[in-house]
């Protein structure tokens, strides 16, 4: 009985700690002359918040929410090593979506699950941590 309680406690602590993954940090996608994407994420336990910048059309459209602009544009929770997030466009108030983030070898993989057309956040992107 005591052993079962200890195992249950250990599993619950692992879930609260975000399943041992750490998404916190500044992440940049490879930049080319057409577009760029970056994330600035904070993680507390299994909660994740952050800000994004998405640049498209050779810099003619910028969707950005920066820390000094107010509320985070990205909020969510981590379950099973996957961050399930909602994001809000800084370009247009109606721009919203949902995404899943995974972490592998110091890279964050972003997969948009639901998004409207106005939002410039890319459907898929790989970002590397800024040292």
Q: For 67-104, what is each residue's pLDDT tens digit? A: 887 889 999 999 999 999 999 888 777 788 899 999 98
Q: Strand, helix or coil at 92? A: coil
Q: pTM of this prediction?
A: 0.75
CATH of the domain at 51: 2.40.128.120
3-state secondary structure of 2: helix
> Residue 100's Cα: distance from chain center in Å?
7
Q: What is the pLDDT of residues 18-64, one digit of tens each?
A: 468 999 999 888 767 677 888 999 999 999 999 998 888 777 888 88
Residues in the chain: 131
Domain that holds residue 75: 2-129
Which one, of 24, 89, 82, 85, lies nearest residue 52 by Cα? Answer: 89
Domain count, the chain: 1
Q: Which residues pair with 33 in a beta bridge?
A: none
Q: Is 98 helix (H, G, I), strand (E, B) or coil?
A: strand
For the chain, give the longest Cα–Cα distance. Answer: 63
């Amino acid at each position: 009985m005591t052993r079962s309680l200890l195992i249950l406690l250990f599993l619950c602590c692992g879930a609260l700690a975000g399943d041992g993954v750490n998404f916190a940090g500044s992440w940049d996608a490879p930049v080319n002359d057409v577009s760029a994407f970056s994330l600035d994420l904070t993680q507390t336990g299994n909660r994740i918040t952050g800000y994004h910048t998405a640049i498209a059309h050779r810099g003619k459209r910028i969707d950005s929410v920066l820390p000094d602009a107010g509320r985070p544009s990205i909020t969510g929770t981590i379950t099973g090593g996957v961050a399930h997030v909602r994001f809000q466009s800084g370009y247009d108030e109606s721009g919203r979506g949902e995404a899943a983030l995974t972490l592998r070898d110091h890279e964050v993989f972003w997969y948009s699950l639901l998004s409207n057309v106005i939002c410039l956040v890319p459907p898929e992107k790989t970002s590397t941590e800024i040292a």
